[in-house]
Amino acid sequence: MASFKIEGGHLLSGTIVPQGAKNEALQVICATLLTNDEVIIRNIPDIRDVNNLIQLLKDIGVKVSKEQQGVFHFQADELNLDYLGSEEFVQKCAALRGSVLMIGPLLARMGKAVIAKPGGDKIGRRRLDTHFLGFKYLGADFRQNPKTEVYEIAAKQLVGTYMLLDEASVTGTANIIMAAVLAKGTTTIYNAACEPYIQQLCHMLNRMGANISGIGSNLITIVGVKHLHGTAHRLLPDMIEVGSFIGMAAMVGNGIRIKNVSLRNLGIIPDAFRRLGVKIIEEGDDLYIPRQEHYEVDSFIDGTIMTLADAPWPGLTPDLLSVLIVVATQARGTVLFHQKMFESRLFFVDKLIDMGAQIILCDPHRAVVVGHDRVNTLRPQRMSSPDIRAGIALLIAAMSADGVSQISNIEQIDRGYEDIEARLNALGAHIERI
């Protein structure tokens, strides 16, 4: 298990370029399974989750070649069907949540998929009901082995239909769309998730010959086609990384420019930081975050205490609440965070409390942060990263602390942030991988 040793108290300045979006990458890489032709994807981040998924695709016979940093060619013209059912493949899938996104394309193309309960963050129960209910609507047969937690899905012919999803699941929606593009007839998905990740997937599929409309809304219509062909696709900048850098710039920045953020795809993210009082200047498609001597939490119009809560897109993504919490620890004022979607994502605040933050964890879903207004800086600590976003939040907290901190289990951070210590050290951070 690797660790970061962080010498805090250094101000960061300069320009940082966000990597390609992890969650989009996981979807569109799986979508390459839908055609015999070559698909080229650009701006692929060099991170653990994406690299593990690419390896899984190679294992099942997809030809993958790297043209240059971030540019990969995929060709799924000869898949190894026997390996798909093997114990080894099923176990490898279990290590990576993104592997679940292979089910839709495999079902559409091969008529069957076998997958173990996927891994990912330890952030509470993460059911897959929406995925399987969607496949069932399309006529698939679903079986679960309760002992091995292996799921088997099979269908001779998927047939389009109307479906109302039980919740707007991000990967669930992507999976159902990928299954429906080659189904017979028309599929209508209501209560669909509509994150930029999903929009990008739909645009790519349409360029491959699919017929998807309603992109960007929660009502998606897919007219099935007989086959898809190759295309080229470029990933958007990772909006969660952009948000993480805004948080970092607010806490320890001395003027930070985040380049080419694709502002119109950030949705409400910059405004969530602005509600904590963080000044963000939009310059073309860049964000410039000046040094924040002080920042003051907004209140609601009626004067009541600010609440920041997650919600399905275009609401605030749950993936940024951990970073927003760290930023709030040094704001002037009080804010209530309500993490509605996940059950265990707030427990990491214990570590911030150990660092001297004033936080009341009301219950697993709600935490009140009373900001220090920079009067007291956080204290250095030894801690472990429970999940990817808590990991980056703790890294930001450690960079702001006066002294040397250590964060273990940084493999969680590596799941989603490319070469993070080198990129932050280039701005003036003092982070060492040990």
Binding site for ligand PEP (CB under 6 A): 49, 97-98, 120-121, 319, 388-389, 416
Q: Please pick, from the candidates 97, 112, 351, 365, the single residue that binds ligand UD1 as defined by CB under 6 A.
A: 97
Residue 389 interacting entry, from ligand UD1, ligand PEP, none, C-beta within 5 to 8 Å by type: ligand PEP
Closest by CA position to 220, among listed 175, 258, 260: 175
Residue 312 interacting entry, from ligand UD1, ligand PEP, none, C-beta within 5 to 8 Å by type: ligand UD1
Residue 388 interacting entry, from ligand UD1, ligand PEP, none, C-beta within 5 to 8 Å by type: ligand PEP
Report if residue 318 touches ligand UD1, rule: CB under 6 A.
yes
> 245: which 2 tokens?
């850098």
Q: Quote the least distance from Cβ 312 to ligand UD1, whole Å.
A: 4
- Contact stretch for ligand UD1 (CB under 6 A) within 69-77, 274-282, 310-318, 358-366: 310-318
- Contact stretch for ligand UD1 (CB under 6 A) within 51-59, 83-91, 102-110, 312-320: 312-320
Q: Quote the least distance from Cβ 106 to ligand PEP, whole Å.
A: 19
Q: What angle do CA 238, 427, 353 make, to 5 degrees?
A: 75
Site for ligand UD1 in 222-281 (CB under 6 A): none
> 18: which 2 tokens?
């966000």
Q: Is 354 annotated as a binding residue?
A: no
Residue number with CB closer to ligand PEP (155 or 272): 272
Residue number with CB closer to ligand UD1 (194 or 261): 194
Residue number with CB closer to ligand PEP (306 or 326): 326
Q: Quote the least distance from Cβ 128 to ligand UD1, whole Å.
A: 8
The gap from C-alpha 24 to its chain's centroid, in whole angstroms, comes to 8
Asked whether 132 and 163 are in contact (CB, 8 A), the reply is no
* Locus of tokens 């990933």: 235
Q: Quote the least distance from Cβ 80 to ligand UD1, whole Å.
A: 25
> 21: which 2 tokens?
């979006």
Closest by CA position to 252, among listed 59, 8, 51: 8
CA distance 420 to 172: 29
CA distance 108 to 251: 47
Q: Please pick, from the candidates 23, 43, 221, 385, the single residue that binds ligand UD1 as defined by CB under 6 A.
A: 23
Q: Quote the least distance from Cβ 100 to ligand PEP, whole Å.
A: 9
Q: Please pick, from the candidates 19, 35, 99, 171, the single residue that binds ligand UD1 as defined by CB under 6 A.
A: 171
Residue number with CB closer to ligand UD1 (201 or 378): 201
Residue 421 interacting entry, from ligand UD1, ligand PEP, none, C-beta within 5 to 8 Å by type: none
Q: Is 48 annotated as a binding residue?
A: no
Q: Quote the least distance from Cβ 112 to ligand UD1, whole Å.
A: 22
Residue 255 interacting entry, from ligand PEP, ligand UD1, none, C-beta within 5 to 8 Å by type: none
Q: Is 147 annotated as a binding residue?
A: no
Q: Please pick, from the candidates 39, 150, 256, 341, the single residue that binds ligand UD1 as defined by CB under 6 A.
A: 341
Residue number with CB closer to ligand PEP (97 or 275): 97
The residues that are catalytic are 121
* Locus of tokens 């660092």: 355
Q: Quote the least distance from Cβ 55 to ligand PEP, whole Å.
A: 16
Report if residue 168 touches ligand UD1, rule: CB under 6 A.
yes
Q: Please pick, from the candidates 8, 20, 45, 98, the single residue that binds ligand UD1 as defined by CB under 6 A.
A: 98
CA distance 390 to 86: 34
Q: Is 156 annotated as a binding residue?
A: no
* Greatest pairwise CA separation for the chain in angstroms: 65
Chain positions contacting ligand UD1, by CB under 6 A: 23, 26, 97-98, 126, 167-172, 312, 317-319, 341-342
Binding site, annotated residues for UDP-N-acetyl-alpha-D-glucosamine:
97, 319, 341
Binding site, annotated residues for phosphoenolpyruvate:
22-23
